[in-house]
Amino acid sequence: MEGKLELTHTDYPGLRVIHVAASRIDSAAAIQFKDQMRALTDTLTYRAVLDLSAVSFIDSSGLGAIVASLKQMPSGIRLDLSSLQEDVARVLRLTRMDKVFIIHDALDLAVAPNGH
């Protein structure tokens, strides 16, 4: 299963953490990513946090898939990001998409009640 991207999740009270079990969200992974995100979020009634700690590379297709995931969230439900590696954070900064998301440095902060 080349190019396979897997998302796993952990549920906390009022919060779903979605872990990306892949080192790349790139053009080859973008559609799978968006589809799996939809399955994990489309009936959520509380906040989701995307744990990107394993991701070392994203390109504009990957970033587009993350934005698409935000837009397909149920109305009024947040999607935050957490644990960005430096190269991923740079892409968010260069595109100024770091203004669009609440970005947590680490998961323990994201998991805190109401995510500060």
Compute the least distance from the CB of residue 60 to other proteins, in Å: 4
Q: Which is nearer to other proteins, 82 or 101 (CB)?
A: 101
**Amino acid, res. 15:** L
65: phi then psi, degrees, rounded to nearest 5: -70, -35
Residue whose pair of structure tokens reads 């587009």 in the numeric block: 64
77 binds other proteins (CB under 8 A): no
Instruction: Report the b/e string of 8-20 with b at 16+ CB within 10 A.
Output: eeeeeeebbbbbb
Q: Which of residues 39-68 bind other proteins (CB under 8 A)?
A: 57, 59-61, 63-65, 67-68
- Measured distance CA(96)–CA(106) in Å, rounded: 20
9-17, 19-27, 35-43, 104-112 -> range binding other proteins (CB under 8 A): 19-27
- The footprint of other proteins (CB under 8 A) covers 2-3, 24, 26-28, 57, 59-61, 63-65, 67-68, 70-71, 86-87, 90-91, 94-97, 99-100
